[in-house]
Amino acid sequence: MIRSVLVIGSGTMGHGIAEVSAIAGYNVYLSDISKDILDNAMQKIKWSLEKLYEKGNLKESVENVLGRIKTIIGLPNELREIDISIEAIPEKLDLKRQLFSKLEELLPNSAILATNTSSLPITEIAMAVKKQERVIGTHFFNPPVLMQLVEIIRGSKTSDETVKQTYEFIKSLGKRPIIVNKDVPGFVVNRILLRIITTACMLIENGVCDYTTVDAVARYKLGFPMGVFELVDYTGVDVNYYVSSAMIERGFKAYPCRTLEEMTKKGYLGVKTGKGFYTYPSNKYIKPNLPPQLAEKLNPLYIIAPAIIEANWMVKNGIASREDIDLGVRLGLSFPKGIFDYEREYGRENVVKALEELKKISNMEEYLSE
């Protein structure tokens, strides 16, 4: 039974994970490398709790919840009561491995060692410890307080018991966990998303259409909350470039997008720099204006078919269930429906036909195969 939670790293993700854990009633230890960083994290948590309270979304006082979070600099030797640790330090394998081997020394043998990594294989992080069966991925989405989805990822040695306990823990936070049975690059949600982004990029680089057409189709025909390139701008052109390159390096067969690389080099990083595919005066996000008639210029299947094939590949290879993949895209990407709903609506035959056309355009046979 989980009572005490240790969150390591109090940055963008860590402070949010600590907050949701404290709201759910757990005793939380929040660790980082300096007092200033921790003070800043606690300020953000307080601000967020006050907002929740004002909206009537907090059952107790802000002070009560804050009282359950204890900040710690580094990892002292007093952590014998921890039942689960969630690591949210920078995305560097060596750094995470060093930390995990230290955690193994300091925490009780029964504690679950979770990582919030968004792209590193759980199995490779787990290699830093002896009892690898207790290492697992818990991939929260940003911001953890508002996003309901958490991907729970098995490493090759993760035990069923660890999965079960982690699943119950994530549910107790009021989140919706999905199970990813193998730590494939991108897990479930980023695989689907990157399939869409890299294909969209392939279409513009091969002159099939321009980025505004892709975005109009995504918005008006597929019902995505944002266009594909609008989303890239929003989350960071560089972030998308690095994530897709890292996934391709680790064996994800996808079209390598030169446009993202060039824009990253030029510093056109999207909303945060004021210029990406679209421009953002004062570096603030504004919804690009896209005429609906643009959406008539491209077959929507050119965008969604590769994601449908990816989803089928994941089911066939036991990576995730159909239900979990559908839940993942609805909650993680805010799609109006599941990937398999798109497949049903467009029809399998049309999906396969679009895929054959995409293969011809891209001249990449191995890409987009089930």
Which residues sit at the interface with ligand NAI, rule CB under 6 A? 8-14, 31-33, 37, 88-91, 99, 116-118, 140, 142
Q: Minimal distance in Å, beta carbon 344 to ligand NAI?
A: 30
Which CA distances in Å does 111 have to 13, 53, 81, 165? 21, 32, 9, 11
Q: Which is nearer to ligand NAI, 32 or 310 (CB)?
A: 32
Q: Which is nearer to ligand NAI, 231 or 290 (CB)?
A: 231
Q: Minimal distance in Å, beta carbon 365 to ligand NAI?
A: 32
Q: Strand 84-87 and strand 4-8: pairing?
A: parallel
Is 151 tagged catalytic? Answer: yes
Taking the alpha carbons at both ends of the chain, their separation in whole angstroms is 41
Is 40 tagged catalytic? Answer: no
* CA separation for the pair 221, 337 (Å, rounded): 12
Q: Minimal distance in Å, beta carbon 5 to ligand NAI?
A: 15
Give the DSSP letter of residue 285: -
Q: Minimal distance in Å, beta carbon 96 to ligand NAI?
A: 7
Which SS3 state, helix, strand or coil, does residue 31 take? strand
Is 190 tagged catalytic? Answer: yes
Q: Minimal distance in Å, beta carbon 72 to ligand NAI?
A: 9
Q: Which is nearer to ligand NAI, 91 or 205 (CB)?
A: 91
Q: What b-and-e string marks burial along 20-39, b requiring 16 or more CB atoms within 10 Å of the CB?
A: bbbbbebbbbbbbeeeebbe
Residue given tokens 């601000």 in the structure block: 47
Q: Minimal distance in Å, beta carbon 13 to ligand NAI?
A: 3
Closest CA to 194 of 255, 124, 262: 255
Catalytic residue among 4, 10, 181, 190: 190
Residue given tokens 């699943």 in the structure block: 167
Q: Which is nearer to ligand NAI, 11 or 256 (CB)?
A: 11
Catalytic residue among 19, 139, 240, 312: 139
The residue at minimum Cβ distance from ligand NAI is 11
Residue type, 108: P
Catalytic residue among 31, 85, 118, 181: 118
Is 124 tagged catalytic? Answer: no
Q: Minimal distance in Å, beta carbon 295 to ligand NAI?
A: 29
Catalytic residue among 19, 87, 104, 151: 151
Residue given tokens 């600590």 in the structure block: 18
Q: How many residues does the chain have?
A: 370
- Compute and round to an integer the Cα radius of gyration of the chain: 21
Q: Which is nearer to ligand NAI, 118 or 181 (CB)?
A: 118
HSE on the CB side for 206, CA within 13 Å?
18
State the burial class of residue 296 (Cβ atoms within 10 Å of its Cβ: 0-12, 13-18, 19+): exposed
Q: Minimal distance in Å, beta carbon 140 to ligand NAI?
A: 6
Neighbouring CB atoms inside 10 A of 235's CB total 18
Q: Which is nearer to ligand NAI, 4 or 312 (CB)?
A: 4
181's CB contacts (< 8 A; 6+ apart) are 154, 318, 319, 320
DSSP string across 46-109: HHHHHHHHHTT--SS-HHHHHHTEEEEES--S--TT-SEEEE-S-S-HHHHHHHHHHHHHHS-T
Catalytic residues: 118, 139, 151, 190
